[in-house]
Structure 1
């Protein structure tokens, strides 16, 4: 499957009123060990990349072969995560379409569904499902995954909100000459803000400890 090419996995099950992913149902789904560093997987700090994971010891391997190996690694991650999520949704008696694609050197999985039961308050359920999907990949392949999961377009909406927030902070820093401290965010959200600030020619840093770690935008 080529870069940005997607696959769709479809589940057709009735969604009972008030359906929830209960602890009992989630416990019946596959589990795996925890990755060493969640921040690395979310991209805020450096981590092993699919390029490094896919590379072989053959110094004469062509660029085309390395690219093909990288794509195969990402395709495999997406397929494993999609199968895991299909099983989990089936256990929870929820329905939805699951799309897989690659973008920015990562495998992406998107659950197309209605409602926010799989998103949860402040994306907490979504974040948990993403971690479970990464763990399922690690159990199957022995590799840590930087796979990204989205449900009902939640992350795209959040990205737009964070971009606006970062731009507001940038304008405040430029006009006041003082640093601006933003509210606590998870690693994925902080990475978005850092990228927007860097693109504007300013510097930002993360400060504090999880779960209260936040971005500080600094004046030049």
Structure 2
């Protein structure tokens, strides 16, 4: 929990100073007044300033954005970060030139980045928020590619009458394959092996 303590002639003046240091708006913080200001009596008693403690509220969106900006700055990448969210999920879409390095082979780098942000943002949180990171529609394109692949290999397994073994995939991509084929009555699918080498088997029904 990030917070600062500030003093000022008035409570409001102390709060404004704290907001500047935290780079936050008034609705992003909680304010605790530690000491009210006093004017003294006839100048015989020293004037006492206001002292406040300003606490930055938990903001998953700002933490996710800050983490990504730090990573991209280190990698010297010019990336535009677009974030939308609902109560349960945060969607982050990245745009910019030459972002293939962030996707990696079959999306492995993108999945690792998504895992890192989920881990960081949800650390020590009572209510976890699912974070999905995409790059200019890559995940949708990849899903359609996997669906076409699933149908093609299912036909191959049925025609040849033997199992077809796919390359190791992430759990998310395996789910796409299973879902694409779950309505078929001529084949069935199952997974075997240990992560990260777990793979799908497409098997014809006898």
SS in 2 for 1:118: helix
Higher strand proportion (structure 1 or 2):
2
Seen in structure 2, the aligned counterparts of structure 1 residues 118 and 80 have a Cα distance that, compared at 3 Å, is same
Structure 1 position 145, deviation (Å)? 4.6
Seen in structure 2, the aligned counterparts of structure 1 residues 180 and 141 have a Cα distance that, compared at 3 Å, is same
Cross-structure match for 1:95: 78
Cross-structure match for 2:150: 166
Seen in structure 2, the aligned counterparts of structure 1 residues 83 and 199 have a Cα distance that, compared at 3 Å, is farther
Structure 1 position 93, deviation (Å)? 3.1
Cross-structure match for 2:37: none
Greater than 6 Å deviation, 4+ residue runs: none
Cross-structure match for 1:112: 95
Counting matched residue pairs gives: 144
If asked which structure has higher relative contact order (CA below 8 Å, sep 6+), I would say 1
Q: How does 1:56-75 map to 2 (within 5 A)?
A: none
Higher helix proportion (structure 1 or 2):
1
Does residue 132 (structure 1) correspond to residue 99 (structure 2)? The answer is no
Q: Does the aligned pair in 2 maintain the 1:203–1:218 contact within 8 Å?
A: yes
Unpaired runs of at least 5, structure 2 = 1-58
Q: Does the aligned pair in 2 maintain the 1:78–1:147 contact within 8 Å?
A: no
SS in 2 for 1:94: coil
Unpaired runs of at least 5, structure 1 = 1-75
- TM score, norm. by length of structure 2: 0.59
Larger radius of gyration: 2
- Cα deviations by residue, 1:123-156 (Å, 9 ceiling, x for unpaired): 3321221111101221262455542211243322
